[in-house]
Structure 1
Amino acid sequence: MGLLDRFRSGATRGASARRTGSGDGGDARYLAEWVRTHVGVEGYIEPKTTVTDVTVVLIAADGEWTRRIVGERGAQRLAKDLRIPVYDVGRTGYPQRMRDYDARKRIERQRAFEEDLREL
């Protein structure tokens, strides 16, 4: 494959491995496992941008979240396949529990960093 062939095909490095509709189904399995191991999961579909295809953010009841590229067809199948509620983030926004989770994680990282500094 030539240097420019990758760009002509429309694929970027790693994008095919992250797309739920990819041949190996790795992301589909990952998302299904994530839903199975977390409580109260909801999906939030993010629109295509100039940088990424359509993505989904899965958010658990405690605010923990994960994001994957699913593409337009993958987004349409998501709710049915995973049996979870799925929302358009452009209409609903992100839930407060996601922001609260991120804030808690930032505090935990800062405390761990400060503890590491004290040990030096």
Structure 2
Amino acid sequence: MGFSDRLRGWFKGEGKRSSPSKATAPASRASTKELEEFATTRSSVEAFLEPRTAIYSITLLLVADDGEYLRRPIGDAKQARELTGRLNLPLYDAARVGYPKRMRDYDTGKRPNRLRVEDMPPWPGDDVGSDGPPPPPVPPAGTDE
């Protein structure tokens, strides 16, 4: 491709890149499918709608409870609302609320401390003897109960 071909292409509005990257590509069925798969295979997923910038198109960012995230292009805010409504996900405007700290922690390698059932103290009802539950507390002297 010579200089005159590039100049002619520039005047026609043709870009330098032949195919857009994933971040700048318009929403496709594949990207929507990836978002759906991420939302259904992770727990406590939240959606963040990122505005269009000079470099990137409108994107939808899904963040799981452990901070793992997936960012894909989405057509517009209406399509994002439909997708999150269908998947029953809360949708936030990233320009207004920002990004969750757990997402940054995930990038740095910090993992949340998970509380397991085995780590919980015993349930008080499990150790009730044959006498039954303990009596109710006695009110202090001098009250009108």
Q: What TM-score do you get using the length of structure 1 for normalisation?
A: 0.68
- Any idea what the Cα deviations from partners look like across 1:23-47, whole Å, max 9, x if unmatched? xx11111111111111110001110
CA RMSD of aligned residues (A): 2.8
Structure 2: tracts of 5 or more residues without a match: 111-145
Superposed displacement of residue 78, structure 1? 2.7
SS in 1 for 2:109: helix
State which of 45, 50, 53 in structure 2 corresponds to 1:46: 50
Distance in 2, matches of 1:78 and 1:35, equals: 10
Matches within 5 A, 1:1-120: 4=9, 7=14, 13-14=20-21, 18-20=25-27, 22=28, 25-72=29-76, 73-104=78-109
Higher Cα radius of gyration:
2
Superposed displacement of residue 12, structure 1? 5.0
Structure 1: tracts of 5 or more residues without a match: 106-120
Q: Quick check: 1:41–1:61 contact (8 Å CA) kept in 2?
A: yes
Change (3 A) 1:6 1:65: farther
Q: Write 1 or 2 for the structure with the bigger share of helix.
A: 1
Change (3 A) 1:38 1:6: farther
Identity of aligned residues (%): 35
The higher-RCO structure (CA 8 Å, 6+ apart) is: 1
Aligned length: 99
Q: What TM-score do you get using the length of structure 2 for normalisation?
A: 0.58
